[in-house]
Structure 1
Amino acid sequence: LAVLAASRPDLLVVVGAAQEGGGYDQGTPGSFAGFGVDLTVTLGPEPEGPPSGHATGTTLPASLAVAGWLLGRARWAVAPVAGVAVAEDLTSSGCGLLGADLGRSAERVAMLVLGDGSACRTLKAPGYLDERAAGFDAAAARALGAADVAALAAIDAGLAAELQA
C-alpha cells in the first residue's frame, strides 16, 4: 500500500474474487463474522457528505473485506477507493477487458488486487494435497507482484479451478 500511495493515484481500485461480480462504493461495510471473527471493516474510510450509494444490507465479499482491513490498518487517505468483485467464472479474456476498463476509470489509477492461493497445499487442506499447488501459487504470485499482464492472462483457469484458487 505504501508503493500505491507513493504513486499518488486519483483513484484506488480494489479488486478481488467473489461468487458474483459487482461494484462496491467506498465505505461499504464488510465483516469476518462468517469466519468466526468479530470484526467489521469498511472499504476505505467512510466518505464525507451524503451516503455513498451502496444499497442498505450490501456487504463486501470476503476478498474485499480483507482489502478493507488492510486499508484501515494503513489508514488509507490518499485517494478515493472503489471496489470491484470479479465473478469466479469470468473468463481470462473477460478479466482482461475488465482490467482495461478499470485502468481507464480515472487519470491515475492504482489497483490493489487480492487473490486466493490454492487450497491444495497440504494433506489437511480443503482440497487435499496436490503437488501442482505450490508451483501454481508461486507463478501466480510472481505475475501479480510484477503486474505482468501476459503472465496473468496465461494462467490456466482450469488448473486454478482444480486447485481451488
Structure 2
Amino acid sequence: MLVPELAGPSAFDTEPVRSAVRDALAETASSGIDRWVVLGASDAPVTGPVEESGSGSFARFGVDVRVSVSDRTGPRMSLSALIGAWLREWASLGPTSTWIVGRETSPAECAVLGADLGARLEESPERIGLLVVGDGSTALTPKAPGGGRRDSAVALNESIVAAIGAADMRALAALRPESCDTEGIGGRVAWQVAAAAVESRGSGVVPKRSYADAPFGVGYVVATWTVSGDRS
C-alpha cells in the first residue's frame, strides 16, 4: 500500500501512512545519515541471514515497478527488500544495502543476529540509518485480507504498536512465532533483530511514533528510534 502504482489511484486511505513515512525518513536523514541499511524478513520460510539480489520488481504484485539498491545478483528480492529499495528511491536516501533475515528465524537466533548487526554498526565510522520494514497483522477489520477481524489479532497488533512506539526491546524480544503467524504478522523477525541490535549497543533510545492505523484492515506503524550519544 506504500507504493502508489500498486495501491491504485482511488486508495486514498494509503496517503496518511506514506506521508508519515516521508516525514520520518526526512527527519532521520536530516541528522546526517551517511548510509542506510534495510532490515526485513524474507518471503521464503527459511532461517538465518539471506542473500538476495540487489534489484527487483513489483511485477509479481501486479505492476512492473523496478527498484534497486545495488548490482548484486542473487535470488529475487523479498517484499521487505523491495519496499526498502522503493523507499530509497522515493525519498532519495542515498547509499543503501539490505540485511534480510529468514522469516522462520527463532527469537533466540534473532537476538544473536541483532547483536552481530549492532556490533557492525558500532564499528562503522559512518552514521548509519537502520530502515526496518515489517508487516503488521492482516486481520484488524471485518474486510481485512487475513480473514476478517479477530480480537486476538487486534490485541497482539496493539501490543506490538505500543512496544515499537516505546522502544520496548523486551516486549519485542518476547514475541512468539506461533502467535504472530496465526495473526498474520510478518514483521516479528525484523523487529526482534532491530531490538537486539539497539539493545546490544547499550545506548539510550528516544522513540517517536508518528502513525498507527489499519488501512484496509492491515496494521501499519511508523516510528523512529534515535540512539542517543551515538553515531547512528
The TM-score with structure 2 as length reference comes to 0.58
Indicate the SS of the match to 2:100: strand
* Residue of structure 1 in register with 2:5 after alignment: none
Which residue pairs with 2:59 in the alignment? 33
2:79 to 17, 41, 62: 62
2:89 is matched with which residue: 56, 72, 78? Answer: 72
8 Å Cα contact 1:121-1:133 kept in structure 2: yes
For the Cα contact (< 8 Å) 2:58–2:66, is it kept in 1?
yes
Return the structure number with greater helix share.
Answer: 2
C-alpha distance in structure 2 between counterparts of 1:140 and 1:68, whole Å: 24
Structure 2: how far apart are the matches of 1:142 and 1:30? Answer: 33
TM-aligned CA deviation for residue 114 of structure 1: 0.8
Query: How many equivalent pairs are there?
Result: 152
Specify which of 35, 50, 58 is matched with residue 22 of structure 1. 50
Q: Secondary structure at the match of 1:105?
A: helix
Residue of structure 2 in register with 1:93 after alignment: 108
Match of 1:114 in 2: 133
| Deviation, structure 1 residue 161 | 1.0
Cα deviations across residues 121-151 of structure 1 (Å, max 9, x unaligned)? 2344343132111222222233334443212
C-alpha offsets along residues 80-104 of structure 1, whole Å, 9 cap, x if unaligned?
Answer: 3221221111011111111111122
Q: Is the 8 A contact 1:14 1:81 kept in 2?
A: yes
Partner of 1:131: 151
RMSD, aligned CA: 2.2
Aligned equivalents of 1:148 and 1:23: distance in 2? 29
SS at match of 2:41: strand
Cα distance, 1:24 vs. partner?
Answer: 4.7
Alignment partner of 1:2 out of 1, 5, 26: 26
Q: Is the 8 A contact 2:37 2:96 kept in 1?
A: yes
**Are residues 1:13 and 2:37 paired?**
yes
Which amino acid letter does the alignment assign opposite residue 36 of structure 1?
A: G
- Per the alignment, in what secondary structure is the counterpart of residue 15 of structure 1? strand
Q: Using the TM superposition, give the Cα deviation of residue 156 of structure 1 relative to its aligned residue in structure 2, in angstroms.
A: 2.6
Q: Is contact 2:88-2:96 (8 Å) kept?
A: no
Residue equivalent to 2:118: 103
Unaligned ranges ≥5, structure 2:
1-24, 186-232
Structure 1, unaligned runs of 5 or more: 47-51
CA distance in 1, matches of 2:175, 2:31: 27
TM-score by length of 1: 0.79
The structure showing larger relative contact order (alpha-carbon pairs under 8 Å, at least 6 residues apart) is 1
Looking at structure 2, the residues matched to 142 and 24 of structure 1 have their Cα atoms a distance apart, in angstroms, of: 31
